[in-house]
Amino acid sequence: STGVAGGNDFQWCFSQVKGAIDEDVAEADIISTVEFNYSGELLATGDKGGRVVIFQHEQESKNRPHLRGEYNVYSTFQSHEPEFDYLKSLEIEEKINKIRWLPQQNAAHFLLSTNDKTIKLWKISERDKRAEGYNLKDEDGRLRDPFRITSLRVPVLMPMDLMVEASPRRIFANAHTYHINSISVNSDHETYLSADDLRINLWHLEITDRSFIFEEPEDPSSRSFFSEIISSISDVKFSHSGRYMMTRDYLSVKVWDLNMENRPVETYQVHEYLRSKLCSLYENDCIFDKFECCWNGSDSAIMTGSYNNFFRMFDRNTRRDITLEASRESSKPRATLKPRKVSTGGKRKKDEISVDSLDFNKKILHTAWHPKDNVIAVAATNNLYIFQDKIN
Amino acid sequence: MAGADGDDSLYPIAVLIDELRNEDVQLRLNSIKKLSTIALALGVERTRTELLPFLTDTIYDEDEVLLALAEQLGNFTMLVGGPEYVHCLLPPLESLATVEETVVRDKAVESLRKISQEHSPVDLEVHFEPLVKRLASGDWFTSRTSACGLFSVCYPRVSSTVKAEIRQHFRTLCSDDTPMVRRAAASKLGEFAKVLELDYVKSDIISLFTALASDEQDSVRLLAVEACVSIATLLPQEDLETLVMPTLRQAAEDKSWRVRYMVADKFSELQKAVGPEITKNDLVPAFQNLLKDCEAEVRAAAANKVKEFCENLPEDSREQIIMTHILPCVKELVSDTNQHVKSALASVIMGLSTILGKDNTIEHLLPLFLAQLKDECPEVRLNIISNLDCVNEVIGIRQLSQSLLPAIVELAEDAKWRVRLAIIEYMPLLAGQLGVEFFDEKLNTLCMAWLIDHVYAIREAATCNLMKLVEKFGAEWAQNTIVPKVLGMANDPNYLHRMTTLFCINALSEACGQDITTKQMLPVVLKMSNDQVANVRFNVAKSLQKIGPVLDSNALQTEVKPVLEKLATDTDMDVKYFAQEAISGTTGSSVLGFLTLSICWPACVQRVFRDKGLKLNNGGHMRMSAKHDLQRRGDFVQENVSAAGVLRQARMLQSLHAAPGFAVNDCLILCCCTVKVT
């Protein structure tokens, strides 16, 4: 059991928070995607400013054994710049919509990052040697007399401080008419998918000027005004085992067995109490928020976000669920996260928060679960919270 | 060598070495490409002890630099001191074989394969084979994929103990965790099988082949199909049924269309590899299934192989198999829902007539040809028309002509100009097969109509078509049928049509000969020198230059020269320019055009032209057939042309502009080449 609800085996506790604590949040600093790599060694975030920040897991040591959930900045780079499409008079935001790591193939790490239109393949590599010695200039850069060269020098490699470089390797552009929402790397390690509102493109990682397009015509069946919006799927994830698929719509998370396409095998309500608020959520545009969802390493639990900086976890075996909050108040080292409850009836119990006092500006859209350990990363506006389990 | 004051001969080398680390990729690349010069200056020992260790660690560089480095190192044996020291090249190539960029890795492997041959048997075991093992057991898939390409080059030259190890490594890689390594192994399976002893082929390779052919990834399984061809060729006939066929049958029915596509695509090779008996019993039904596959891609690939498959059937039962098994499927494909399938079939179906003979063709194939000639998709019709020669030999084209004509007319008027262009290109062929009478009666009007098409490419092709027709039917035919019509257009109110007259004259003068050119064409051209549109006037100048060689010197002096001199004083700049060009080309000698080419073009360019089969002949212009060669730009970039040479080229390009049959875009291509060279 994963014990997402705490109790018997473990509770979630605070580990780290990244990002400034100012009340005034710069738009560019808002985190727009979070993703662990295959080993959990690296954690990448993308933000609205087009930057990618990669955190590296801190090595555990004897004197600091609790570092399992500690990540420190490894590399930061500007992945996308704002652009302007002159043909369509359209601004293209630099916001990173999605990051996907590639399975590691050599000493370097590779990831795909995308904004609305352009997908880029980045290589993150380390360098610890530097070549020294020129023929035509001295160590201090002064030029030598070219006619007084008496011997040839071949550069020598010298050790230097570790440097982490991010270099763009491929740019996959001009293939999407609508905004790219999602990318996913195939198990064959040579192709990947990118999806916009209408189409899915299939790319080869080594070919940037060609992709195959899949398009499905819209289902013309008529539906009520809100039901169409709230039933539209904001995220899809395959389980690690490959057998299940999870979809997130506005109010719920559904788990589907690939062997049975007609209905989901499990349905979890994320914030059913909002059903009566759809009208005001439409008016403040919140109804269009795209909540993502994720599996834990063993596919036994799932996590997704909500409003008021709440995020929810569901244990698939015990059917227990829990609501937790990512907040500065509980950001003390090793502090246990207290379960939160939203009151739906008239009477509000102690420790409960009423639906009407939820802050809809604070929302958790992006979360990530370490592929092996109980370490989670939760993006709340410009802050990245990292939580880990604490064995009782 | 180096005196007290230094040695200025070292300077260029010093620059090259420093530029190995220049910030500008292009300069680094240039230096890497001259690595042999650096190595030569350093001498073999310093190359081994200093240059190679430095290069081993330059794997941070850009792909194109690494690619050039990987290539250079394959030719470095003499520069490190000969075969005795060739193993010094292994460390840099080993690190290049692990980079993430496939092209670089592949080039490193290619160089490693090359230098493996320069290792003595002892060195191969002491240095090379350990490298292969290291790569094969590397942490990352990049090194393991590279290892796959090296087994087959060292296997034949090592001891039996090492051979056993190599086989073991290959086995391990075939079941690697990452699909990339399994793909690399699967793609080298056939090659590795060829160097193995037959017993090991049976014991080792077959089991690996079977495993890869049922891999969970279809991208691996489809590579096993290719290996199947090589393996089947190696095995004695009696073993094929038990060792290969179960896997091949399974591949032909694979649940992934990509695998089935591969089977269809390799069908002829497979058919030859397994021999006639298995073909009859196994491949015929498999081929039928592929022709009826649910995926259009597979059907199209199979349809492409229909003719080849039928040709390679054993002679004794060929006709019977085709008639009872293949033809029914082919009939269905004629009305397939997918146009790619139909057009694939249309490109080969005519070939069946030679195999089946006259009677079967008339009875069974002709209805299919006719149906395809009426297909809604132009490409299908075009493919049928372009292969008419096959049928012509068997039943004569007359059988088809009644259906052919409407099909041709429809294509000739198709809304897509590329379709019109395609049918024009078949016109000379059709004319030859249908004969002059049929042509005059039915097709001549079409050919003339294309001359006033609103798309330039069509008018240009139509002009060229006329030239080919005249070459086929002769000058007399031209004089009676097309020349009057062409000359009539000189009075057209549309200047584009008047220009077409000039283009036609350019194309036809040589084929029509001196008499027609002087008596009929020249007066029209001369008269057009008074045209009010400047474009027409400068094309008159160009035309005069072009038809000059066909005219006699008297006409040149008395008629052409005065007109050109008048045009040379035209108010329009371009008219003046081309008139002057023509004068310098026509009046200097009786031979016109580009005799001067051989003087003006740099020697290296001339060499390129000669190598490519381009003629700098006294007729002056490059033939159309050479166009495609020109488009292979790379060939020009290789040449070292000096700045002065480039200038000279540019000047020549301007005059090339005037050469008929040499369109502006060709000049642009040449210009691009020129710019690249600078």
Nearest CA in chain A to B61: A167
Query: What strands lie across the sheet with A301-305, from one edge to the other?
Result: A293-295, A301-305, A310-315, A321-325
Q: Is the pLDDT of residue A164 over 70?
A: yes
- Mean pLDDT check: name the lowest of A333-342, B131-140, B494-503: A333-342
A370, A36 contact by CB (below 8 A): yes
Q: With beta carbons under 8 A apart, name residues in chain B contacting A154.
A: 17, 42, 46, 50-51, 54
B225, B262 contact by CB (below 8 A): yes
Q: How far is A323 from chain B (nearest CA, A)?
A: 39
Question: B4: which 2 tokens?
Answer: 């007290």
The pLDDT score that the predictor gives to residue B413 is 85
Please report, as a single letter, which amino acid is at residue B375: D
Rg (CA), chain A: 24
Q: Do B99 and A136 touch (CB under 8 A)?
A: no
> What contacts 24+ positions apart, CB below 8 Å, involve B390-398?
B390/B350, B390/B351, B390/B353, B390/B354, B391/B350, B391/B353, B391/B361, B392/B433, B393/B354, B394/B353, B394/B354, B394/B357, B394/B358, B394/B361, B395/B353, B395/B358, B395/B361, B395/B362, B395/B366, B397/B433, B397/B434
Q: Which tens digits make up the pLDDT trace of A279-317?
A: 889 998 999 899 999 999 999 999 999 999 999 999 999
Q: Is the pLDDT of residue A89 over 90?
A: no
Q: Is B166 helix (H, G, I), strand (E, B) or coil?
A: helix
How far is the first Cα of chain A from the last one, in angstroms, to the nearest whole number?
Answer: 14
Q: Is the pLDDT of residue B437 over 90?
A: no
Q: Is B179 near chain A, with CB under 8 Å?
A: yes
Q: Is B17 near chain A, with CB under 8 Å?
A: yes
Q: With beta carbons under 8 A apart, name residues in chain B contacting A137.
A: 18
The pLDDT score that the predictor gives to residue A4 is 59
B333, B366 contact by CB (below 8 A): no
Nearest CA in chain B to A170: B101
Does the global pTM surpass 0.95? no
Question: B333: which 2 tokens?
Answer: 């494909």
Contacts of B12 (CB under 8 A, 6+ apart): none
As a whole number of angstroms, the distance between CA B402 and CA B411 comes to 15
Q: Which tens digits make up the pLDDT trace of B531-586?
A: 989 889 999 998 988 888 888 888 888 888 889 889 989 888 889 888 888 887 75
Within 10 Å of residue B199's Cβ, how many Cβ atoms?
8
Beta pairing class for A352-354 and A341-343: parallel
The position carrying tokens 């259906």 is B403
Q: Is B2 near chain A, with CB under 8 Å?
A: yes
Q: Which tens digits make up the pLDDT trace of B198-212?
A: 999 999 999 999 999
Q: Is B335 helix (H, G, I), strand (E, B) or coil?
A: coil
From B42, B98, B102, residue closest to A152, measured CB to CB: B42
As a whole number of angstroms, the distance between CA B101 and CA B89 comes to 20
Q: Is B66 helix (H, G, I), strand (E, B) or coil?
A: helix
Q: Which of A66, A15, A69, A70 is CA-nearest to residue A333?
A: A15
Q: Is A252 helix (H, G, I), strand (E, B) or coil?
A: strand
Percent of chain B with pLDDT over 70: 85
Question: B20: which 2 tokens?
Answer: 């190995």
Q: Do B17 and A129 touch (CB under 8 A)?
A: no
CA B76 to chain centre: 31
Q: Which of A46, A48, A45 is CA-nearest to residue A27?
A: A48
The pLDDT-based confidence of A392 (bands split at 50, 70, 90) is: low
The CA-CA-CA angle for residues B261, B296, B254, to 5°, reads: 40
Q: Is A72 helix (H, G, I), strand (E, B) or coil?
A: strand
Q: Do A189 and B20 touch (CB under 8 A)?
A: no
Averaging pLDDT over each range in B134-138, B558-562, B622-626, B667-671, which range is the top one? Answer: B134-138
Q: Which tens digits make up the pLDDT trace of A57-69?
A: 987 666 665 656 7
As a whole number of angstroms, the distance between CA B611 and CA A97 comes to 53
Any bridge partners for residue A46, and if so which?
A33, A52
The pLDDT-based confidence of A326 (bands split at 50, 70, 90) is: very high
The pLDDT score that the predictor gives to residue A62 is 63
From A107, A187, A188, residue closest to B140, measured CB to CB: A107
Q: With beta carbons under 8 A apart, name residues in chain A contacting B57.
A: 129, 131, 157
Q: Which tens digits make up the pLDDT trace of B326-339?
A: 999 999 999 999 99
Q: How far is A142 from chain B (nearest CA, A)?
A: 14
Any bridge partners for residue A301, and if so which?
A315
Q: Which of B222, B223, B240 is CA-nearest to residue B231?
A: B240
The pLDDT score that the predictor gives to residue B629 is 35
The pLDDT-based confidence of A343 (bands split at 50, 70, 90) is: confident
Residues 129-148 on B with a CB inside 8 Å of A are: 140-143
Q: Is the pLDDT of residue B635 over 50?
A: no
Q: Which tens digits make up the pLDDT trace of B598-626?
A: 223 334 444 445 554 444 432 233 332 23
From A105, A149, A154, residue closest to B6, measured CB to CB: A149
Q: Do A157 and B54 touch (CB under 8 A)?
A: yes
A250, A292 contact by CB (below 8 A): no
Question: A9: which 2 tokens?
Answer: 């085996």
Q: Which of A182, A166, A53, A52 is CA-nearest to residue A116?
A: A182
The pLDDT score that the predictor gives to residue B94 is 95
The pLDDT-based confidence of B639 (bands split at 50, 70, 90) is: very low
CA atoms within 13 A on the CB side of B127: 22
Q: Is the pLDDT of residue B271 over 70?
A: yes
Q: With beta carbons under 8 A apart, name residues in chain B contacting A123.
A: 100
Rg (CA), chain B: 32
B266: which DSSP letter? T
Q: Is A44 helix (H, G, I), strand (E, B) or coil?
A: strand
A304: which DSSP letter? E
As a whole number of angstroms, the distance between CA A138 and CA A132 comes to 10
Question: B346: which 2 tokens?
Answer: 């249309």
Q: Do B42 and A145 touch (CB under 8 A)?
A: no
B223-249 average pLDDT score: 93
As a whole number of angstroms, the distance between CA A246 and CA A234 comes to 11
Q: Which of A102, A104, A106 to mutate to test the interface with B (most CBs of B within 10 A)?
A: A106
Q: Do A104 and B179 touch (CB under 8 A)?
A: no
Q: Which of A28, A36, A78, A76 is CA-nearest to residue A57?
A: A36
As a whole number of angstroms, the distance between CA B384 and CA B296 comes to 20
